[in-house]
Amino acid sequence: MARRYYRAHILDTLIEAAAAATSRFAGRTFVTRPTRPPLRSLFPMCRLVAYAGAPVPVAQLVFGGPHSLYRQSWASRELISGSVNVDGYGVAWWNDPGEPAPAVLRRAEPIWFDPDLEGLLGRQRGTVVQATLRNATPGLPVDRVSVLPLTAEGWSFSLNGWVPSFRQRHMRGLRGALTDESYAKLRGVSDAETLFLLVVDELIGGATPPAALHRVAARVRGRLSVDEAAPLTMVLASNRGVDVLHTAAGESPCNSLYLARECALAPGGAIVASEPLDDSSWEAVPPHTALSISPDGQIARRDAD
């Protein structure tokens, strides 16, 4: 049954793409060259949602709205490349600010595979919530270990972007900067896990969340050659709120990111999302911006550079 759902959603996507590429003029049909890159592009982009504020049903942030995160798994509007996000999904949430570590649910399969997921998350309420759909970096395995958000030391983390030629050119150098304790926690081979543990090391060393994200982005920039580029939107959450660094290295554009405060889906807080979830007032987050959302939903902004 799950395989049938998968095929149906992919078929819907292909039908929509074909319809968009077909125009009619004077009774004749012209099929134009598709403007979207192939399904498995060389530039993987995830879709994500993060929230901090008054308790809200977790399912509302994943399944709520006419353009929900769930729907974005097969019908994203603003992917720089690719067309689906089916390499896994994950949700991390804190039921209240006193919880040191989040509850976590991660699967290495499309989010529509589990028909019970919406009901399960509907029974959970979160003051801080982070959810991600994965579009895997080429060359990295599609497995549960690599599914976002990743968690450690009371933090959760998502990367919307990638480090180019990670395993071939940058994996050893970046992982060599990890402390022994963090290196021992490595479970996979992904760029996201490496950047997350570098962030954790900075936090343990006394850095604030914004400073930790900034330092890790600077470390990646320092390794890239002039012809390499990396989108580096990073989201870090804890029971103390959400921090976002929306940036890129080299000539790469930033991935799409939007901010909404007290929207219909979560009137008691603030949400950042790769794409607007509903028709509320969402504002595009400018490239190279840092955001912090406190547990009461207050937003602080600063220039990332």
CATH class of the domain comprising 41-303: alpha beta
Confidence of residue 138 (pLDDT cuts 50, 70, 90): low
Task: Give yes or no for residue 175 having a pLDDT over 90.
Answer: yes
- Closest by CA position to 285, among listed 244, 238, 229, 232: 244
The arithmetic mean of pLDDT across residues 69-87, rounded, is 79
Which pLDDT tens digit goes with each residue over 222-273? 999 999 999 999 999 999 999 999 999 988 889 999 999 989 999 999 999 9
Is 60 exceeded by the pLDDT of residue 16? no
**The 3-state secondary structure of the chain, one letter per residue:** CHHHHHHHHHHHHHHHHHHHHEEEECCEEEECCCCCCCCCCCCCCCEEEEEEEEEEEHHHHHHCCCCCHHHHHHHCCCCCCCCCCCCCEEEEEECCCCCCCCEEEEECCCHHHCCCHHHHHHCCEEEEEEEEECCCCCCCCCCHHHCCCEEECCEEEEEEECCCCHHHHHHHHHHCCCCHHHHCCCCCCCHHHHHHHHHHHHHHCCCCHHHHHHHHHHHHHHHCCCCCCEEEEEEEEECCEEEEEEEEECCCCCCCCEEEEEECCEEEEEEEECCCCCCCCCEECCCCEEEEECCCCCEEEEECC
| 288 vs 303: CA distance, rounded Å | 6
Measured CA to CA, the distance from residue 51 to residue 156 in angstroms comes to: 12
Confidence (pLDDT) at 12: 46
Residue 295 pLDDT > 80: yes
Look up residue 237 and give its amino acid: A
CB-based contact 246:289 (threshold 8 Å): yes
Minimum mean pLDDT range among 60-74, 78-92, 250-264? 78-92
CA distance 266 to 213: 26
d(CA 117, CA 189): 28
Inter-residue contact 85 to 76 (CB < 8 Å): yes
| Rama region for 36: left / alpha / beta (φ>0; ψ in -120 to 50; rest) | beta
Nearest to 241 by CA among 188, 199, 183, 297: 297
What is the model's pLDDT at position 139? 65
Least trusted range by pLDDT, from 39-53, 103-117, 159-173, 192-206: 39-53
Q: What is the pLDDT of residue 252?
A: 86
Reply yes or no on whether the pLDDT at 27 is more than 90.
Answer: no
What phi and psi values does residue 129 have, to the nearest 5 degrees?
-135, 140
User: Domain coordinates of the chain in residue numbers?
Assistant: 1-35, 41-303
Task: List Cα–Cα distances, 276 to 68, 76, 194, 221, 259, in angstroms.
Answer: 8, 10, 29, 29, 8
Report the candidate in 121, 51, 104 with the shortest Cα–Cα distance to residue 269.
Answer: 51
% the chain with pLDDT above 70: 82
